[in-house]
A and B are shown apart, each in its own frame.
Chain A
Amino acid sequence: MDQYQEYTLEDFVLDARFQGWVRHRGAADAVFWQQYLDENPAQAEDIQSARKLLDRVYRHYRTDIDEAEIDLEIQGLLERVRAEKRQMGGRRMEEREDGRWEPGIVSESGVVIESEIESGVVEEVGRVVPLRRPWHAGIWVKVAACAVLVIGLGWVGWQYYCFNCGYNGLVSGKELVERVNTSEKQQVIKLTDGTQVVLYPQSRLSFAETFPADQRTVYLSGDAYFQVAKDPKRPFLVHTTDLVTKVLGTSFFVRARDASDKTLVEVREGKVSVFKQKEFAARRNVQSKMPNGMVLTPNQKLIFEHASSEMRRTLSDNPEIVPSDNPKTFEFVNAPASSVLTDIEEAYQIDIIFDRDVMKGCPVTASLAGQPMFSKLSILCEVIEARYEVLDGKVVIYSKGCKS
């Protein structure tokens, strides 16, 4: 969704996905854009105006042709094509005069007679019948089509995409218990192995009533936070439409909304490996090597983009200090910048890449306690005239060293 952050009215009206929403009013798009609006209220005005503008254009140029009319045209077209084919076929037949083609000739000629009659009729029907059709027939056809459409949309809205894809496809045919959070509040679910799951609103979680001896598998659609009970012998697996997250004992967050084009895994404690659902499934079927998973450590976040089918690793938006026995104070008086960075690394358990020798020469006096991690980094960088970047779930510090 990040791509839309900088969008103005002009960008929205030119965006294919936005256009699709205004034009077709699909349930999946509606969910996506409603969610986007909720998360980005500052863009509400542009979005509403863009929607209004597009809606006017779509209404203005609406074309009135019904499916039956198109079907007749296609039928007519096929008659012409078949007539042409017969001509060609007939010519070939004359050239060959081959007895073995007999069955072919029979069926071909059978079609010839039939379609010659038909094509005459179709010519007539195609042009005349729509006009002669009683007026009420037209209305009823349209009313019926509308009703089907409304029912269809309602159903799609509930199922999001389709019955056998995504989450529904994952859980179908398995004996599972399902918990659905239809409330407005988060729900805590305790699994038999001691794992706690915070299930967010509009999310569903399925799992076996008792886990087998070798693994613990759950299926998620929506958002959930997992605090997994340690059990090294039984890995804990979270299956979502696009990804499989595998853990031994840890806390992490998964966002896998079926209507969204992204899946997100965010780690608070411990380590998890994430695999693409497709590759994970393939490995199980063909006993091949371990698929190429991506390992996530605390405060790292993985984003899977459905469109590109790629996994991207970055840092959480707001990394949190990992609980430890000797917490850092983040009070520095004339401390070398390198030791500030090391403290941040240890407290948040993230990797910071910097030149230790260059950083030794930069003394820092600062009180960074209580600041979010990225603020700590910004303040430090300002003090030592450096800048930082987040790359592949790590922080990189660029500095030319200090003059003093």
Chain B
Amino acid sequence: MDTGHTAWLLTCSALVLFMTPGLALFYGGMVRGRNVLAMLMKNYVAMGVVTVTWIVIGYSLAFSGDAGGLGLIGDLEFFALGELGFGTEIGLDDGEGYPDSVFLVFQLMFAIITPALISGAIAERMKFTSWVVFIAIWSIVVYAPMAHWVWGGGFIGSTDGTEIPGVGAIDFAGGLVVHINAGAAALALVLVLGPRLGWRSEIIRPHSLPLTVLGAGILWFGWFGFNAGSALAADGAAANAFLTTQIAAGVAALAWVLSEQVMHGRPTTLGFASGIVAGLVAITPAAGFVSPLWAGVIGLAAGVICFAALQLKFRFNFDDSLDVVAVHMVGGIVGALLLGLFAEAAIGGVDGAFFGAAEQFLRQVISIVIAVVFSFVATYVIAIIIDRTMGLRVSEDEERRGLDITLHEEQGYVLTE
């Protein structure tokens, strides 16, 4: 066992877990005060629900190997942990590795935050019980297969040369698996759920941007575990991913507020916080494959394009309340596409179009189309089924009175003793 790698991955696992509370604050500040607890809770509950689904079956479906050699899904070898080895070593070619349990727990944290990301789209109107059922099903039926396809030996990540004929796309830390997946799912869920009462007719504004800004800072901090940890080793690749992550986030935040300055005449606090997240999303698939300067270009593109993508929901009339589509789906696509141009074999072993391998760009395009279509369609079906059986939405009366008091019998802000 390599104690350095093991220690680093345990640390990164904790960092990635900490992103979900950060995300909860990021989202919680953006809703109205009467829904703040309901928003926090929809994020936090993922830390419970997905821990269970991942341990029971999700990890096995994603990472146990490949059932039938088709590259579609794992088998049940690790069902309820199965024969998972707590002392055996996996991961590295040179035999220097870390325990299976470390990989399981690191991947668990990704499986937790991905459905939590979707919660921003359904803010202020979705039933809590239906949300719990949704993320339990979604983490098994949508997340686990996608993780298998890209990282678990499935058909998106594998190349033609291997046993399973595949797309050969690359995704360092989850552009496809986490962000495009969550963004496309958010779009599907919102289309079934419908807009909030008063959307586009009443003022619906963030109740506490300080919470949001704090949340964005925690996300940035945790994201180093997400991206640098995805090197699955404490080595130069991790260091490169750390550096590219920092650069992309900083440049994207600046690009976002510059865009605001040009379009609206004011740089906003919410804009800077949003730009941070857009940059982090876009660099996620690329962090270990591109050089630091190209990471800056990815950050620049993410800041400008995600800011422009905010208009999509008004143009096509869907209430993606906290802009999960504009930031995560669009940001993820920006990163996954530019990765196909800027990837450099000297950095992460794969060349993109700018370094002589035009086919890598095509592979990225194909992988994005597959991820968007699969996530959208599967999520749409799950949403329809839950809507027809349990109902997705709270009543109009509950929505007007606020979800904190009606769903949880609590208030976020008690203004008297």
A, B from the same assembly: no
